[in-house]
Amino acid sequence: MKKKKKLYEGKAKIIFATEEKNLVIQHFKDDATAFNNQKKSVIDGKGILNNRISEHILNNLGQIGIKNHLVKRLNMREQLVHHVKIIPIEFIVRNIATGSLTKRLGIEDGSVLERPLIEYCLKNDELGDPIVSREHILTFNWLNIVELDWISKELLRINDFLQGMFRGIGIKLVDFKVEFGKTNENKIILADEISPDTCRLWDSSTEKKLDKDRFRQNLGNLVEAYQEVARRLGILHLESNIRPIKFSKPTAVKLKKNK
Ligand code: 5GP
pLDDT score, position 257: 43
Segment 59-103, tens digit of pLDDT: 999 999 999 999 999 999 999 999 999 999 999 999 999 999 999
User: DSSP readout, 50-72?
Assistant: HHHHHHHHHHHHHHTT--BSEEE
Domain-located, residue 152: yes
Domain-located, residue 78: no
CATH value at residue 120: 3.30.470.20
Residue 103's domain comprises 87-221
Pocket flag, ligand 1, residue 28 (CB < 6 Å): no
Q: How confident is the model at residue 236 (pLDDT cuts 50, 70, 90)?
A: confident
pLDDT score, position 71: 98
Q: How confident is the model at residue 247 (pLDDT cuts 50, 70, 90)?
A: low
Pocket flag, ligand 1, residue 90 (CB < 6 Å): yes
Domain-located, residue 244: no
Domain-located, residue 82: no
Pocket flag, ligand 1, residue 13 (CB < 6 Å): no
Please give the tally of structural domains in the chain. 1
**If you take atom 11 of ligand 1, which residue's CA is the nearest one?**
198
Domain-located, residue 188: yes
Domain-located, residue 24: no
Range list of H helices, the chain: 46-63, 100-105, 134-139, 145-167, 213-216, 222-233
Pocket flag, ligand 1, residue 228 (CB < 6 Å): no
Domain-located, residue 48: no
- Relative to beta strand 78-82, strand 85-86 is unpaired
Segment 106-130, tens digit of pLDDT: 999 999 999 999 999 999 999 999 9
Report the residue among 38, 92, 199 best suited for mutation to probe ligand 1: largest number of ligand atoms under 8 A from its CB.
92
Segment 127-159, tens digit of pLDDT: 999 999 999 999 999 999 999 999 999 999 999
Quote the percentage of the chain above a pLDDT of 70.
92
Pocket flag, ligand 1, residue 175 (CB < 6 Å): yes
Segment 177-188, tens digit of pLDDT: 999 999 999 999
Domain-located, residue 110: yes
Q: Alpha-carbon distance 68 to 55, whole Å? A: 11
Q: Alpha-carbon distance 253 to 256, whole Å? A: 10
- At residue 3, does pLDDT exceed 60? yes
Q: Which residues pair with 131 in a beta bridge?
A: 121
